């Protein structure tokens, strides 16, 4: 009788443990899946603060221009493949235009700061009225205020590529994809100016 009780108890414990794991595992996976891609993009952008601007640049090791930074962030963190130029991104039909009053972290903001009348610069909105961008030769990736006199005057619009990109432009993510991205070259925060 004693052996029967012990076996019954062990069988019951194993059943309860297996049932608990079956219910806990999907919940843990759900938390991972539900983490906002915008947070991952913004976090990665913050890691890149201090990387030098480089015209035509698209990598951590060589530097970034403004559109190269955005293409890199969306590709590496959200597996969304964006057009390469600011002009193409601004006119993309795969992403809705966003009113300035409705900006959310992860939106892409556009500027005309060279007097040509066309879009000439872009950055990643990170919330709190701020955006991260690669400004120009001789400067580094930095945070600027959208409502500063300069950037406010040159602001021309925003797009929301998260949630607005078509399924065809997404690539299934895998641990291997994330493992192959360039590693950050972290700059000392004291060297990086966060003002435009």
- Catalytically annotated residues: 66, 121, 133
Classify each residue of 51-71 as buried b or exposed e, where b means 16 or more C-beta atoms within 10 Å of its C-beta: bbbeeebbebeebbbbbbbbb
Label each residue of 10-70 as H, E or C: HHHHHHHHHHHHHHHHHHHHHHHHHCCHHHHHHHHHHHCCCCEECCCCEECCCEECHHHHH
Could you give the CA distance from residue 124 to residue 131 in angstroms, rounded to a whole number? 5
Helices 37-47 and 66-78 pack at an angle, to 10 degrees, of 130
């Amino acid at each position: 009788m004693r052996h029967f009780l012990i076996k019954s108890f062990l069988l019951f414990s194993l059943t309860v443990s297996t049932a608990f794991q079956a219910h806990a595992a999907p919940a843990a996976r759900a938390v991972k899946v539900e983490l906002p891609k915008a947070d991952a993009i913004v976090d990665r952008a913050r890691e890149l603060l201090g990387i030098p601007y480089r015209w035509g640049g698209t990598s951590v090791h060589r530097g970034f221009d403004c559109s190269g930074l955005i293409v890199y962030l969306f590709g590496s963190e959200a597996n969304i493949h964006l057009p390469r130029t600011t002009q193409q991104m601004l006119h993309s039909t795969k992403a809705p235009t966003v009113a300035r009053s409705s900006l959310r972290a992860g939106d892409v903001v556009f500027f005309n700061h060279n007097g040509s009348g066309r879009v000439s610069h872009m950055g990643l909105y990170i919330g709190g009225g701020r955006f991260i961008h690669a400004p120009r030769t001789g400067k580094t990736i930095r945070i600027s205020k959208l409502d500063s006199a300069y950037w406010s005057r040159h602001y021309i619009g925003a797009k929301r590529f998260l949630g607005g990109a078509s399924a065809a432009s997404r690539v299934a993510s895998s641990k291997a994809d994330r493992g192959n991205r360039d590693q950050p070259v972290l700059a000392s925060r004291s060297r990086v100016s966060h003002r435009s």
